[in-house]
Amino acid sequence: MERSVDAVGGNQTYYITTPIYYPSDKLHIGHAYTTIAGDAMARYKRLRGYDVRYLTGTDEHGQKIQKRAQAAGKQPQEFVDDIVKGIKELWSKLDISYDDFIRTTEDRHKKVVQKVFKRLLDQGDIYLGEYEGWYCVPCESFFTERQLNEGNCPDCGRPVEKIKEKSYFFRMSKYVDRLLAYYEENPGFIQPESRKNEMIQNFIKPGLEDLSVSRTTFDWGIQVPGDPEHVVYVWLDALTNYISALGYLAEEGESSELFAKYWPADVHLVGKEIVRFHTIYWPIFLMALDLPLPKKVFGHGWLLMKDGKMSKSKGNVVDPVPLIDRYGLDALRYYLLREVPFGADGVFTPEAFVERVNADLANDLGNLLHRTLTMVQKYHQGVVPEYVPNATAHDRELEQLAKDTVKRVEEAMEELQFSIALTAIWELVRAGNRYIEHTQPWNLAKDPDKHRALGSVLYHLLEVLRIVSVLIQPFMTQTPKKMWEQLGIGEGELTSWESVERFGVLPAGIQTSKGNPLFPRLDIKEEVEAILGMMRGTVTKPVEEEKKVSEQEGYISIDEFFQTDLRVAEILEAAPVKNANRLLKLQLDLGTEKRQVVSGIAEYYRPEELVGQKVICVANLKPVKLRGEKSEGMILAASENGRLVLATVSGDIPNGTRVK
Ligand code: MSP
């Protein structure tokens, strides 16, 4: 079988990392974005035969975490343990195929950081001095007066703190020339290219000052060896994760086999705001340790909202979990990787999400599979026909496109251009749908002499679907398997990357089995509302579940209706929820009991308008916590096109009366 340039035996390694996340809060869709991108790349390289190591983890020290823990009334370790548990659950929900998860509070990491610090101190790269300057707590970054932006942090725009303390410093300037030479000799080191110029112009050219690498004003960190008053600066601590996780200096002066095998990293994936740490500080630390530098640092853009960055205070944070629960994991993974060119910023809008999922997944891909299998069932007893190579011009065109698509995907993936790879795959999907229009199998079926031609058309469609199912494996983790089930093939040779480099590999005679559509078609208006509801913190049901009920009969039974316990409730108090400008916290009187319900109505009602109103409450809804507030139930409202009116009862009736 023909093999392309990038295919390797099992011994070529590929080491890819995500930034390690601050466990200061629940992660959102922006963090999911980086990790899904890394996962797509790791899966792609595994498919190409590489021995891949995909590392992710958490950056658990520093003043910000310590302050957060204090505010939550917890010990820092207890605080981060809880959040890290949630992060791991999220990665499992997103099907992240990481090989290792490093936490900077683990012993295996702490002892490496201390050894690194000691070595740099012993060899004179680190020295003790005094620091005076500005510090941004959320960014864990030091700035000189000159670097500030109108007195605020140049990265996040928030106020900075003036600090003066004894500190250890790293002699950055010593390595600058070597760093610039490395940039010069390795043009692919910083990607996208524009970020390299930014580093040189904004940070290196103005002169690299010695970096403060220890702190004494808080103690949630790794102690400086021999000087317990100091903890190691979080960025020196954090960046070291990429080598401590491989067992660098794990034993007395020794590194593990993993380190020998995987270092240097092939790519560190990072968000654009932390490119500086990865392309200036990190390479310089590594040079001082006499270690090879990573081959590439890719700085991707941010996933933004219409009103800018996602933030709790704006109440515009998108949690990936309800999106997955409603639309499935692959819809989210596809959207994130397809919508935004990797490297640029992108804006998440519910409209774009729903339209993308509808057009590409339900219409293009879902339709191609469904139409093809329906015809194979109807015209060929559900069995894969014989392959007739190059029979018609349409066949030749489709076969050529399939081959070109594989190459285009390979080239795009080398550049981490997920969106380009997916665009290429979807051109093939659309060509499959067009091929149906051109060949009109329903007409061929009318003429018994065209039986062979009909078989060939069906074969071409099935083979295109198989090729697509193989090519989408890095991006989507569930759809390929669903497609294989329907195509009647199991995971193995027929789903390997090599198998798509030639057309006509699918064996004749396989029994296909048409299943449910891969993606339900969505009602754009309804779903946009649903996503806005999620952003406001309203719980929604999976689309599949809703569809099942209505598709089966179009109605629900009275028993089903009575499963919902609706009660008259009086609003006793209403108050805003901290950091959530769409939510109100309501105290309800349900006759026999009082309850708190959090409702996304703050944009429509002022708290004082609500007190005394009799509303309808869903009393048997599973309690949830919204923005840290317990919510036991939901109140009903009519809403459309940005308007919302509460459902109230017109007459005087005791609180707690059942509504039916
Ligand atoms: N702990 C440091 C990284 C240390 S790596 C040695 C850190 N953590 S973070 O949790 O704040 O961010 C982790 C990553 O998530 C960053 O690459 C950041 O760019 C990314 N994102 C956070 N919000 C994001 C979006 N809204 N969009 C895209 N990526 C975002 O920085």
Q: What is the mean pLDDT of residues 471-497?
A: 98
User: Which ligand 1 atom minimizes the distance to the CA of 19?
Assistant: 5
Q: What is the mean pLDDT of residues 68-92?
A: 97
When comparing pLDDT for 546 and 443, which is higher?
A: 443
Q: What is the mean pLDDT of residues 403-414?
A: 98
Distance 266 CA to ligand 1 centre (A): 19
CB atoms within 10 A of CB 477: 20
Given this model, what pLDDT does residue 544 score? 58
When comparing pLDDT for 196 and 639, which is higher?
A: 196
Listed range (209-218, 507-516, 540-549) with the worst mean pLDDT = 540-549
User: Which ligand 1 atom minimizes the distance to the CA of 239?
Assistant: 6
User: Which ligand 1 atom minimizes the distance to the CA of 278?
Assistant: 6
Given this model, what pLDDT does residue 624 score? 83
Model confidence at 37: pLDDT above 80: yes
Nearest-10 crossing angle of helices 76-93, 63-71: 100
Q: How confident is the model at residue 4 (pLDDT cuts 50, 70, 90)?
A: very low
Which contacts qualify for 177-182: CB closer than 8 Å, 24 or more apart? Answer: 178/287, 179/204, 179/280, 179/283, 179/284, 179/287, 180/204, 182/283, 182/293
Q: How confident is the model at residue 545 (pLDDT cuts 50, 70, 90)?
A: low
Nearest CA to ligand 1 atom 13: 21
Percent of the chain having pLDDT more than 70?
95
- Per-residue pLDDT tens over the stretch 125-182: 999 999 888 988 888 787 888 888 889 998 888 999 988 889 999 999 999 999 999 9
Distance 343 CA to ligand 1 centre (A): 14
Nearest CA to ligand 1 atom 6: 239
Listed range (5-9, 202-206, 595-599) with the worst mean pLDDT = 5-9
Percent of the chain having pLDDT more than 90?
73
Listed range (395-404, 424-433, 574-583) with the worst mean pLDDT = 574-583
Q: Return the residue matching tokens 């944070």.
A: 317
Distance 159 CA to ligand 1 centre (A): 20
Distance 213 CA to ligand 1 centre (A): 21
Q: How confident is the model at residue 5 (pLDDT cuts 50, 70, 90)?
A: very low
Distances (CA, A) of 498 to 295, 409, 494: 27, 13, 9
Given this model, what pLDDT does residue 558 score? 67
Given this model, what pLDDT does residue 550 score? 45
DSSP bridge partners of 127: 169
Q: What is the mean pLDDT of residues 474-496?
A: 97
Q: What is the mean pLDDT of residues 172-197?
A: 95
Model confidence at 13: pLDDT above 60: yes
The torsion of the CA quartet 590, 594, 600, 602, rounded to 10 degrees, works out to: 100
Distance 557 CA to ligand 1 centre (A): 48
Phi, psi of 358 (to 5 degrees): -65, -50
Q: Is the peptide bond before 389 cis (omega within 30 degrees of 0)?
A: no
Model confidence at 477: pLDDT above 90: yes
- The span from the CA of 440 to the CA of 461, in Å, is 12
Nearest CA to ligand 1 atom 26: 30
Model confidence at 565: pLDDT above 90: no
Phi, psi of 571 (to 5 degrees): -80, 115
Our mutation pick for probing the ligand 1 site, out of 31, 277, 306, counting the most ligand atoms within 8 A of Cβ, is 31
Model confidence at 1: pLDDT above 50: no
Distance 42 CA to ligand 1 centre (A): 19
Our mutation pick for probing the ligand 1 site, out of 83, 274, 297, 300, counting the most ligand atoms within 8 A of Cβ, is 274
**Which residue ranges have their beta carbon within 6 Å of ligand 1?**
19-22, 30-31, 33-34, 59, 238-239, 241, 270-271, 273-274, 302-303, 310
Listed range (7-11, 192-196, 358-362) with the worst mean pLDDT = 7-11
Which contacts qualify for 5-12: CB closer than 8 Å, 24 or more apart? Answer: 6/48, 6/410, 6/414, 7/48, 7/49, 7/497, 7/498, 8/48, 8/49, 8/50, 9/49, 10/49, 10/51, 11/51, 12/49, 12/50, 12/51
Q: What is the mean pLDDT of residues 485-511?
A: 97
Mapped onto helix, strand or coil, the DSSP state of residue 15 is strand
Q: What is the CA radius of gyration of the chain?
A: 29
Model confidence at 546: pLDDT above 80: no
Which contacts qualify for 398-402: CB closer than 8 Å, 24 or more apart? Answer: 398/431, 398/432, 398/435, 398/460, 398/464, 399/460, 399/503, 399/504, 401/427, 401/428, 401/431, 402/428, 402/463, 402/464, 402/467, 402/500, 402/503
Distance 408 CA to ligand 1 centre (A): 30
Q: What is the mean pLDDT of residues 252-277?
A: 94
Q: 635 with 589: CB under 8 angstroms?
A: no
Given this model, what pLDDT does residue 41 score? 98
Our mutation pick for probing the ligand 1 site, out of 16, 21, 243, counting the most ligand atoms within 8 A of Cβ, is 21
The torsion of the CA quartet 184, 187, 190, 195, rounded to 10 degrees, works out to: 80
Q: What is the mean pLDDT of residues 180-208?
A: 93
Listed range (105-119, 247-261, 391-405) with the worst mean pLDDT = 247-261
Nearest CA to ligand 1 atom 12: 21
For 330-467, strand residue ranges (E) read 346-347
Q: How confident is the model at residue 351 (pLDDT cuts 50, 70, 90)?
A: very high
Given this model, what pLDDT does residue 427 score? 98
Please give the mean pLDDT across all residues of the chain: 92
Nearest CA to ligand 1 atom 30: 30
Model confidence at 2: pLDDT above 70: no
Nearest CA to ligand 1 atom 19: 271
Q: What is the mean pLDDT of residues 424-440?
A: 98
Q: What is the mean pLDDT of residues 575-593?
A: 89
Q: 130 with 165: CB under 8 angstroms?
A: yes
Distance 273 CA to ligand 1 centre (A): 8
- Per-residue pLDDT tens over the stretch 550-564: 444 456 666 667 778
Q: Is the peptide bond before 225 cis (omega within 30 degrees of 0)?
A: no
